Structure 1
């Protein structure tokens, strides 16, 4: 693989070819976060589970802890995958900081996720439970690769460029994900004309996401260059042991950076809300706006795909627009504006959403704030990380990154299980946005950047 051997010479930042290669990974892996985790897998697995055990029948009994129902099956799979990431990703990040294997490890986990995604093609009604297992593996691998991908951001871009580079990555991700989603929507729309069932069209779409992810990621691994280890192993230490011992050191370092820690806590809350809305919006729309007969005919899946398709292309513009807003009002204030809008979305979904026309307007609002809130959060955090600990800190950050929420799905699943109402469940998520907003308002992010030993954008431009 080109560039897999780390050079001992410093590699200049802001290289256009390398930045393009880095942003192309967002283009590649967005196939998983949109077609699989966002649009198709949740309603597909939920429908398979419901056909096997009933609309809200028991999938798995948990004794005194209740039961996993058909409606809560997919939210539980999301939660379990992230629970595993809580333990694994910080260890992986610590290992990456001590080796030149960051790029190779990223490629390894990328293609584990690609393989698991391709295997969704073989999931049918008789094997729906294994579909949940595959999702756990794919989502875990997706998160592991993203930790290492994000850790390259401070390596390839200076402090005054990270907002732009991060936003460009997210924008390309929405565009690439949107193009594949358009192709999959066409496949579902014309499935009967092509002589295949709606179920087969969904399976082929899931397979296409794996092929897209793995194929375009080759561009990233051809352009991205390995760096020398950020830190040096002490005598008697190995990669196997340093990963565990450095987790504690990373958290101690985080404890010495109180404003970075405060920001991270706020991010974990509001990003949990964002990821839960993204991950479970398809199930919410399917269950609330369509009858059982319409769902059986596949009308809900076609509508959800069309909604997600629109979101991808509008979010492409939204990511770029919010980067420009950040230039005017600052990165922190731009994120705060997005959180106010996110809170309005869940209130609207609970109390006002009644038909598919209204769903279009709600999805448009989501699209405008989606890319901005995520891209700017990533770039702001990258400026708060001490040099040499990029992968370790992003290992913690990724615990609640795209498609890897755990608090939100647990809340959502518990509320829908107790009330049998998706509207009550969606409203409960406003707590995550409001808590995150309050914490962000009270966090001095400029001081966090300086305490981490980095420069503010305006300072980097003057240097």
Structure 2
């Protein structure tokens, strides 16, 4: 039987606390978009490494750096989550990850063409801080409202996050310009800009978000021992609960595909679609706006149509989006014949971006909300540590997989790997069962 999770007050947290929690999503999207997706990833592969014409070495090294950082999260997140639960210290762990991300992101300014391993080291450190912080902030979700509100609250966070990413990247693109060797002296400021945005925008989180539970002080070795004990207990629980185990397996495959999309969409656009600068900027705007709509809209539907059903629908949409990405040149040719005039592949790619954007926010929000609904609030730290483990193990699998496949097949063909991942996630979700909002019968 699914484990019943009850909110202690059966009511949402104060609005300003929900706002403070969601503002961390607003703040950290500046890192995701400016560093991983839109600017620095492209800068690293094409300028810092610069192995033209196909950039296969740059793509591979970028995948390796991200994979190493996620491997570090896999080791640390479950232990940190267990310790946070035992000592009521979630905000302290969150603050530590925040500071680490800010400092190492700002230092990316000093990465110049040829300093490949220095750049990789900073990406490993900054992405570790960002990625483990995702688990820490997610662990507060079960305390923010009753079960029937968690889908909407999670969607609000993701939606506000994409608005934050839109604001940060719009300013960055306007101030810094295009990614190119000629514009390097301006574009190198992307690291300090992202760090400053994260620093300022996350302040409401630490002002308004409450630490629940009784603070306990214990020696470091006792914390580590307790963390290991609780991790082992969680593994036993996963062995007994098929539904929760299936959810984490599904999240593994889904997040593997999403991390590839996040890390390689703009690289794909530059290398395969060969878009121009205005189209790159427009793609960013389109995906951010549709991601907001997807996160908030599907979060609303999740609380009404059933979270498991909505989660599966997002995976079907993801599979269609990947097929459309792969077929973009062919679709452009078909449209050219149908309309009797040339249709550029980059314009079709923009249309695909609408579907991908809707999927991007909704799938992540739905998965996070499902974890919150299936675990006890008092154990949220450790279970969101496992959520982080599944997500970051997925990132390693996905990014190394696409990195190696694109060396063999080229990036255009390797993108179909994502289709396999989303379909695998859909199949893995079959055993998931969740009690309804009254917790009386499975749905």
TM-score by length of 1: 0.84
Residue 124 of structure 1 and its aligned partner are, at CA, apart by 1.0
Name the counterpart of 2:246. 262
**Deviation per residue, 1:301-341 (Å, 9 max, x gap):** x6434312221122112212212332442111111111111
**Deviation per residue, 1:28-64 (Å, 9 max, x gap):** 111111111111121111013443x55468xxxxxxx
Name the counterpart of 2:418. 429
Name the counterpart of 1:137. 125
Name the counterpart of 1:307. 283
- Long gaps (5+) in structure 1: 1-8, 58-67, 450-455
Name the counterpart of 2:326. 350
| 1:338 counterpart = 2:314 | yes
Residue 217 of structure 1 and its aligned partner are, at CA, apart by 1.1
Alpha-carbon distance between aligned partners in 1 of 2:219 and 2:356, rounded to the nearest angstrom: 51
Alpha-carbon distance between aligned partners in 2 of 1:349 and 1:403, rounded to the nearest angstrom: 25
| 1:366 counterpart = 2:356 | yes
Contact 2:74 2:393 in 1 (8 A): no
Number of equivalenced pairs: 419
Alpha-carbon distance between aligned partners in 1 of 2:49 and 2:149, rounded to the nearest angstrom: 48
Alpha-carbon distance between aligned partners in 1 of 2:314 and 2:9, rounded to the nearest angstrom: 37
Name the counterpart of 1:25. 24
Name the counterpart of 1:74. 62
**Deviation per residue, 1:173-215 (Å, 9 max, x gap):** 01111011111121244999xxx95223322233211111111
Alpha-carbon distance between aligned partners in 2 of 1:10 and 1:369, rounded to the nearest angstrom: 33
Distance change in 2, residues 1:136/1:305 (3 Å): farther
Residue 12 of structure 1 and its aligned partner are, at CA, apart by 7.3
Alpha-carbon distance between aligned partners in 2 of 1:202 and 1:368, rounded to the nearest angstrom: 29
Residue 368 of structure 1 and its aligned partner are, at CA, apart by 1.4
Alpha-carbon distance between aligned partners in 1 of 2:72 and 2:258, rounded to the nearest angstrom: 20
Moved more, 327-336 or 267-276: 327-336
Alpha-carbon distance between aligned partners in 1 of 2:75 and 2:295, rounded to the nearest angstrom: 31
Contact 1:318 1:369 in 2 (8 A): yes
**Deviation per residue, 1:108-167 (Å, 9 max, x gap):** 111101111111111110323211111111111112222111111112222121111111
Name the counterpart of 1:213. 198
**Deviation per residue, 1:436-459 (Å, 9 max, x gap):** 10111x22321xx5xxxxxx3245
Distance change in 2, residues 1:312/1:335 (3 Å): same
Counterpart selection for 1:391 from 376, 381, 394? 381
Alpha-carbon distance between aligned partners in 1 of 2:220 and 2:297, rounded to the nearest angstrom: 51
Name the counterpart of 1:377. 367
Name the counterpart of 1:417. 407
Residue 357 of structure 1 and its aligned partner are, at CA, apart by 0.4
Distance change in 2, residues 1:234/1:140 (3 Å): closer
Report matched runs for 1:73-112 at 5 Å.
Answer: 73-112=61-100
Report matched runs for 1:5-84 at 5 Å.
Answer: 13-51=12-50, 55=53, 69-84=57-72
Distance change in 2, residues 1:303/1:234 (3 Å): same
Distance change in 2, residues 1:223/1:233 (3 Å): closer
Distance change in 2, residues 1:78/1:39 (3 Å): same
SS at match of 1:124: coil
Contact 1:78 1:404 in 2 (8 A): no
Alpha-carbon distance between aligned partners in 1 of 2:84 and 2:432, rounded to the nearest angstrom: 29
Counterpart selection for 2:266 from 282, 286, 302? 282
Contact 2:251 2:391 in 1 (8 A): no
Counterpart selection for 1:457 from 433, 437, 440? 437
SS at match of 2:378: coil
Please give the root-mean-square deviation of Cα atoms over the aligned residues, in Å.
Answer: 2.8
Name the counterpart of 1:6. none
Counterpart selection for 1:273 from 230, 233, 257? 257
Contact 2:10 2:145 in 1 (8 A): no
**Deviation per residue, 1:272-323 (Å, 9 max, x gap):** 1112111111111111122xxx9xxxx55x6434312221122112212212
Alpha-carbon distance between aligned partners in 1 of 2:299 and 2:438, rounded to the nearest angstrom: 15
**Deviation per residue, 1:61-112 (Å, 9 max, x gap):** xxxxxxx922311011111111121111111111111112110110011110
Contact 1:161 1:457 in 2 (8 A): no
Alpha-carbon distance between aligned partners in 2 of 1:402 and 1:384, rounded to the nearest angstrom: 20
Alpha-carbon distance between aligned partners in 2 of 1:327 and 1:40, rounded to the nearest angstrom: 36
Distance change in 2, residues 1:219/1:317 (3 Å): same
